[in-house]
């Protein structure tokens, strides 16, 4: 009888370990997949930015610094490989795009240009998609990190070398509230 109880307890422990391990693997793969979704949306935006810059350049050719900053931010973002690097690059590209749109505000004929409007709408849609993908990614990372830190799954995570994933955090609200600097 004692042997049966011991075997049942061992079976329950083994099943629990397998279940927790599988959940860790599933969440780890979901984190990687959701990061890939962010990457795809960002690449679409990176492809759109040069078209937007060229359209604005035709109207505001003397705004060379703004165009250079947008191009530099785009290059930095394309080279980012971790959530931390991507967040830094995203902050830079968002700020430079704000400057680009601030320049566009000074040119009513540009704002009326159908190509510019279409590019601006596409960019807005991509920004919304990136924001949605970022929220999903961060939710999955949160769940994964909680599982890694919670008992008893933290024991299994440490045995199988699961590491916490990095959140994709953009700028703080203080930075978001700063006015865009544009000089003519």
The per-residue pLDDT for range 115-163, each reduced to its tens digit, is: 778 888 888 888 899 899 999 999 999 999 999 999 999 999 999 999 9
Q: For residues 132 and 135, give the distance between their C-alpha atoms in angstroms, rounded to a whole number.
A: 5
Residue 175: count of CB within 10 angstroms of its CB: 11
Cα-based angle 84, 166, 31 (whole degrees, multiple of 5): 120
**Which residues have C-beta within 8 Å of that of residue 64, sequence separation ≥ 6?**
none
Question: Max Cα separation, the chain?
Answer: 88
The values of phi and psi at residue 112, to 5°, are -90, -10
Which helix (H) or strand (E) covers residue 31, if one does?
A: helix 2-59
pLDDT digits (tens, 9 = 90+) for 31-69: 999 999 988 888 888 888 888 888 777 766 666 777 788
Residue predicted with more confidence, 89 or 61? 89
The length of the chain, given as a count of residues: 184
Respond yes or no on whether the N-terminal peptide bond of residue 12 is cis (omega within 30° of 0): no
Higher pLDDT, 37 or 77: 37
pLDDT at residue 114, as a whole number: 77
SS3 content of the chain, % helix, strand, coil (to 5): 80, 0, 20
pLDDT greater than 50 at residue 182: no
């Amino acid at each position: 009888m004692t042997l049966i109880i011991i075997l049942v307890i061992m079976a329950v422990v083994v099943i629990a370990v397998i279940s927790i391990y599988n959940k860790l693997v599933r969440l780890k793969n979901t984190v990687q997949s959701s990061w890939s979704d962010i990457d795809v949306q960002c690449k679409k935006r990176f492809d759109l930015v040069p078209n937007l810059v060229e359209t604005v350049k035709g109207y505001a050719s003397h705004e060379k610094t703004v165009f250079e900053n947008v191009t530099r931010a785009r290059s930095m973002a394309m080279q980012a490989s971790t959530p931390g690097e991507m967040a830094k690059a995203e902050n830079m590209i968002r700020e430079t795009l704000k400057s680009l749109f601030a320049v566009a505000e000074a040119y009513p004929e540009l704002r009326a240009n159908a190509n510019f409007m279409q590019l601006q709408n596409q960019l807005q849609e991509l920004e919304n998609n990136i924001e949605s993908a970022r929220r999903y990614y961060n939710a999955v990372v949160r769940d994964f990190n909680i599982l890694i830190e919670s008992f008893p799954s933290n024991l299994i995570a440490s045995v199988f070398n699961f590491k916490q994933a990095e959140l994709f955090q953009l700028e703080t609200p203080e930075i978001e509230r700063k006015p865009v600097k544009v000089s003519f």
